[in-house]
Amino acid sequence: MKTFDGESLKKLGDDIITALRPVAMKFEIEISIQGGSYGQGEAKLTLSLKIPAPSGTGASVQEEKDFVKYANCYGLKTEWLHKTFKGPDGFEYQIVGLSMRSRKFPVRCKRLSNGRFFNFEPNPVKWESELKC
């Protein structure tokens, strides 16, 4: 490799995650790349280490705890955790937790078709009608 670019950094990140998979399994954690930067002859990747929640949704333990603890503050119901709904884009989502770092879109959801995570705004009236309980 002579220079770093976005494409080569993505491939390198994938190889790093593959190499770290045994470590992740040993310590029962999830390891992912959360972005990075590159310049002439130097690149930086940000590794994210997460203790997965026992529910198996892919959310962190803290995100699930925060949903149970703070759902009422957003007008949400604690029993909505792990419920599914159809999003505005037509995909099915599952509520997996609450991201306290996000002010506008704190409701952490998992798209069921591909496992990617998205954040939604806390709109209780809309959620009440769309949730599949």
**Does residue 117 carry a pLDDT above 90?**
no
CB 93 within 8 A of CB 109: yes
Average pLDDT over residues 110-114: 86
Class of domain 61-132: mainly beta
Range in 23-37, 63-77, 89-103, 114-128 the model is least confident about: 114-128
- 58 versus 63: the higher-pLDDT residue is 63
Q: Which residues contact 15 (CB under 8 A, 6 or more apart)?
A: none
Nearest CA to 95 out of 76, 109, 114 is that of: 109
Domain spans of the chain, in order of start? 6-50, 61-132
At residue 21, φ and ψ (nearest 5 deg) are: -55, -45
Write down the pTM of the prediction: 0.61
Q: CA 108 to CA 122: how far, in whole Å?
A: 10
Nearest CA to 55 out of 46, 68, 43 is that of: 68
Q: pLDDT tens across 23-37, in order?
A: 988 998 888 888 889
